[in-house]
């Protein structure tokens, strides 16, 4: 039990911020994101023995968070759009975040993106997941994830009025 408890503690410490950040992109609400994150780890710890290792732990945890979020949305029978943020790199994200108006415009453009573009973009930029991991979450190929991400970037640029 001590070894198992140490493993769950390590899992929690390693992936808490990643799961919380992903939950924030899903909800845009800190309290809901905290709830999703806590429920994700509760479910992960309960099911850890069933984790087959087909994907890495971060992908597995994000898939649990996504499923819980969607279940809650269905339960509440309200479909709130999944928000995201900004273009390609961490440098661009930081630069745009400093400018509140630009940041707001990016949020508006992201809000208008259809699924799966919105979520693929979020997983890639904010969740820092690989295309392979994104493909696993959607039960698609790595190439599908690459193409969908590229199309999401193009749609964002178009909506932002960039060439």
**pLDDT means per 10 residues in the chain (163 residues)?**
57 87 84 88 76 72 86 67 46 51 68 84 80 89 90 83 65
DSSP H helical ranges for the chain: 2-27, 30-47, 57-76, 90-98, 100-112, 117-125, 131-138, 142-160
Cβ-Cβ contacts under 8 Å for 110 (sequence gap 6 or more): 83, 84, 85, 118, 121, 156
CA distance 33 to 14: 17
If asked whether residues 71 and 103 sit together in one domain, one would say no
Helix axes 142-160, 100-112, angle to 10 degrees: 120
CA angle 149, 116, 29 (to 5 degrees): 100
129 found inside a domain = yes
42 and 20 both lie in a single domain: yes
Do you know the residue count of the chain?
163
pLDDT of residue 2: 37
Residues 39 and 70 in one domain: yes
pTM: 0.48
Give the per-residue pLDDT at 110.
Answer: 75
The answer on 47 and 14 residing in a single domain is yes
Q: Are residues 121 and 59 part of one domain?
A: no
Q: Which residue range is the domain that position 114 belongs to?
A: 90-160
101, 42: one domain: no
Q: Distance (Å, rounded) from C-alpha 108 to C-alpha 85?
A: 9
pLDDT for 141: 92
Q: Give the end of a domain, one of 76, 111, 139.
A: 76
- Examine the domain organization and report whether 125 and 59 are in the same domain: no
Q: Which of these three, 41, 76, 111, is where a domain ends? A: 76
Residue 144 has a pLDDT of 93
> How many distinct structural domains can be found in the chain?
2
């Amino acid at each position: 039990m001590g070894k198992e408890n140490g493993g769950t503690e390590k899992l929690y410490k390693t992936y808490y911020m990643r799961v919380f950040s992903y939950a924030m992109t899903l909800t845009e609400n800190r309290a809901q994101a905290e709830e999703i994150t806590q429920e994700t780890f509760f479910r992960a710890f309960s099911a850890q023995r069933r984790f087959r290792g087909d994907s890495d732990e971060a992908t597995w945890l994000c898939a649990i968070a996504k499923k819980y979020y969607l279940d809650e949305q269905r339960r509440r029978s309200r479909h709130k759009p999944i928000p995201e943020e900004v273009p390609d790199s961490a440098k661009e994200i930081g630069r745009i975040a400093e400018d509140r108006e630009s940041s707001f415009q990016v949020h508006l453009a992201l809000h208008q993106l259809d699924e799966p573009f919105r979520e693929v973009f979020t997983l890639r930029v904010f969740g820092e997941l690989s295309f392979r991991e994104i493909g696993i979450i959607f039960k698609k190929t790595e190439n599908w994830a690459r193409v969908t991400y590229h199309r999401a970037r193009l749609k964002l640029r178009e909506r932002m009025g960039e060439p």
